[in-house]
Amino acid sequence: MKPLAQTPAKAESDTDASTARAAGDIVHHPIASGPLGLDTSMKGKYCIVTGSNCGIGLQVARGLMRRGAHVIMACRNMTACEQAAAVLRGEGLSGSCACRVVDLENPSSIRAFVSQQAQELAVSTDSVGNSGSGRASGVGGDGAAGLRGGQQPQQARRYVDVLVNNAGVMGVPPASDGSDRHLTTNHLGPYLLTRLLLPHMTHGSRIINVASRVHYTGSLSLVSDPNGRAETIRNDTHHWFWQYCRSKLCNVLFTAELQRRYGYESPFALTAFRSSGSGVGVGIGSSRTLEGIGGGIGAHAVSPGLVDTGILRYLLPGQLQWLLAPLRPLFRTPAQGAEVVLYAASSPELQGRNTLFLHDCREKQPSAAARDPRLAADLWRVSAALLGMPEEGEEPGKGSR
């Protein structure tokens, strides 16, 4: 085995700016309302938010529902999820929500979730209404309004308008087999979920990967086989913090490769989508293309900053959590951390733009490693191999229609 690709040494500008970035995570810049702000209507949009029972994910779900969206709260703890959903439903928000179970450490759970979503997305026009995106011709906000007496409703289907890969772990011990749970939960799980949901997305859908500015300190080394082909991820760090940083770097690299393959005006996206407005095809190279230029989906990595969320429970044992108390006033609230996610999910300013990394709802240049196209492509291929799936397209019957 020999190293195939490794992140380049940090540029001097990256190193010199590390202190400024840390300060920027603490200083919160509120977002103005208006065209650039967070008041865009999401009425009728179908959104999936992982880890939405608490913290940033809960605030994202609340913000999307406030804008009129139907939110699938995808969580592994159904008790906590139902409790959170009950609170949201009691707030009189204009949108709606539903709880669905998914464990991002368990590929079988992810596949079961996507299979369930495929069934729920297949609806008739008379039941679309405002709860999801009906893209069959003639479908509007009134669902089956306009059907003549005795006429059967036209079969249609909804699509995933927004996928927010928010759930994550930090400071967790290795799995029983010694594998890095940060990599599994923060990268491989969202990678599999996204790949399987791609056939259920359409032109203009958005994928939001919640990353972090700690990706600037992350490194990633891939190992090749004797033929020089990427084979696996080198497990060259065992401290949880550096594992976490690596997983966040993977988030940005994954986003970059999503843009290359399916982003706005990508030559691959123009052949991956069908001109009828249906979802991503099962493989690149379909003979049916989008009409016009600019087809594809939006993929954005975002940094919510240093936020006081439940993830901090991993940092110190319960009896030592009090040590964090003096620092909590410096942290952002989950609602503040959710602003950049909501901006990426809803802002018309990002429509048609391949903005890779956002912090404080502003475009920021990610690390040199995150901008390495070869590393991004190799990570995509290695991730697929680790999950036993093809590099291109989806497995038959595993999410494609």
pLDDT in tens, 206-247: 999 999 989 989 989 888 777 667 678 888 788 889 999 999
pLDDT recorded at residue 318: 59
- Residues 59-106: tens digit of each pLDDT: 999 999 999 999 999 999 999 999 999 999 999 999 999 999 999 999
- Amino acid occupying residue 55: G
The residue that leads in pLDDT, 330 or 394, is 330
- Alpha-carbon span 52 to 72, nearest angstrom: 9
pLDDT recorded at residue 321: 57
Residue 168, phi then psi, degrees to nearest 5 = -165, 170
- Residues 274-325: tens digit of each pLDDT: 443 445 443 333 322 233 334 589 999 999 977 666 555 555 555 555 556 6
- Residues 10-19: tens digit of each pLDDT: 333 343 344 3
Asked if residues 210 and 189 have their Cβ atoms less than 8 Å apart, the reply is no
Residue 142 has pLDDT above 50, yes or no: no
pLDDT recorded at residue 325: 62
- 12's tokens: 């001097």
Can you spell out the DSSP letters for 78-132? HHHHHHHHHHHHTTT-SSEEEEEE--TT-HHHHHHHHHHHHHHHEEEHHHHTTTS
Question: Helix 373-386 crosses helix 240-262 at what angle (to 10 degrees)?
Answer: 100
Exposure string of 8-31, with b = 16+ CB inside 10 Å and e = fewer, is eebeeebeeeeeebeebbeebeeb
- Residues 149-205: tens digit of each pLDDT: 444 544 567 899 999 999 999 989 999 998 999 999 999 999 999 999 999 999 899
**What torsion, rounded to 10 degrees, do the Cα atoms 306, 308, 314, 318 define?**
140
Domains of the chain: 2-27+42-134+155-386 (3.40.50.720)
Q: Are strands 206-210 and 122-124 parallel, antiparallel or unpaired?
A: unpaired
Nearest C-alpha neighbor of 3 from the set 386, 255, 370, 374: 374
Asked if residues 70 and 325 have their Cβ atoms less than 8 Å apart, the reply is no
